[in-house]
Homo-oligomer: A and B are copies of this chain.
């Protein structure tokens, strides 16, 4: 009986996802764009059980025990760049992607232009929507965060970061686009490196910022569709000169 109930639940989930996908396709009607439904994750970073949360992850056996980073360590090692957890993991930049996929179960998508469909925008802050985006031979981390920078007034912050060095990041331009009901909002910038940390980018306000009212104007039935495109900076500069 339990098996049949679970099967029925899975089928309902699939129908719901398919419906969300159809809605996003309708909003971003450009042919060939990949739509990715991204479910929210309540940020456990500031929760008291953060160590327990990290230790119940798939990598439980591999992770070192939860403790503060040592003062002296290999300068080539970078801390975990996942903005969701205070994860004690450290590793080389080249293995950050596999750590994020395996430990934090963050999806990775291919394609120059994709649509990020964040569901359940009404959930209380702090909440994150995260995917990785593989494009132009590099991997990018897209983070949409709902956060109360000012108490009682949640805002949405969206940014794209290169899983690479700041020098590598300077070679790219990313664009985030919201488009609904004859309103269009576009943000274009150079991605920051994950080494600079998502928290700093958001506290600096150097990203796409939406008030709750504006997010509601762009969202459809609780979901927000964000069109994403990445180009190399040379193309961007050539366009600016035209």
A residues adjacent to B (C-beta < 8 A) = 150, 152-153, 155, 173, 182-190, 204-206, 208-214, 217, 233, 236
A182-B173 contact given A206-B217, A209-B211, A213-B205, CB 8 Å threshold? yes
Interface secondary structure of A, over-half rule? strand
Q: How far is the CA of A212 from the CA of B209 in the complex (A)?
A: 11
In the complex, besides A185-B186, A206-B217, A209-B214, 14 extra interface pairs with C-beta distance below 8 angstroms are A150-B150, A150-B152, A150-B153, A155-B211, A182-B190, A183-B188, A183-B189, A183-B206, A184-B186, A184-B189, A186-B186, A205-B217, A206-B213, A209-B211
Q: How far is the CA of A173 from the CA of B183 in the complex (A)?
A: 9
Contacts of A187 in B (CB 8 A): 183-185
Closest B residue to A217 by CB, please name it. Answer: B206
Q: How far is the CA of A183 from the CA of B155 in the complex (A)?
A: 20
